Amino acid sequence: MRSFTRAAAELGTSTSNLSHTIKRLESRLGVRLLQRNSRSVSARDAGEELLSSIGPALQSIETAVGTLQLCRNRVSGTLRLTATRQAYEMVIRPVLPDFTAAHPDATVEVLIEYAFRDIIADQFDAGIRLGERSSET
C-alpha cells in the first residue's frame, strides 16, 4: 500500500497539492491512473502501463539532474571574454593565473579586439572596455 502523505513528503509538497496534481494529470489524459481512498493508493492498470512506459525516461532525467548537481559548486566550462589589449593587461591578466589554478575544469577564452559587439548574440560571457561601452543597448 502506498501513501499520498509519504509521497508528498518525499517530493517536498503538500498532500493536497499532490492530489490536485494527480487529478489534473488524470483529467488531461482522460483516464484514472490511481485508485485511492482515505487509507491507501494503488496504481490502476493504466497507471502501471504509463509508469512502465515512462519509467526509464524518468530514471534518465533523474540521473542527468543528479549529474548537474555535482557541478553546482564547481566552476567548469568555457568563460568567453572580449576585451581591449589595455583591459586585458589591467583587468584580466593579473587574475588569470589564480583563476585557472582555482578552477582547473574551466577554460578562459579571451578575444582581444577594439570593435563593439553584441556580447549576448556573439555568445560572450562579458565584454571589458575601460571607459567605453562594450555593446549597444
- Is 112 domain-assigned? yes
Domain boundary at 71, 88, 110, which?
A: 71
| Count of domains forming the chain | 2
Taking only Cα atoms into account, the Rg of the chain, rounded to an integer number of angstroms, comes to: 26
The predicted model scores a pTM of 0.51
Q: Which residues pair with 67 in a beta bridge?
A: none
- Residues 46 and 91 both lie in one domain: no
Q: Which grid coordinates belong to 33?
A: 491512473
CA distance 99 to 106: 9
- Is 96 domain-assigned? yes
pLDDT 10s digits, 91-131:
999 999 999 999 999 999 999 999 888 999 999 999 998 87
- Residues 9 and 67 both lie in one domain: yes
Intervals of the chain under pLDDT 50: 1, 134, 137
Question: Position of cell 499520498?
Answer: 4
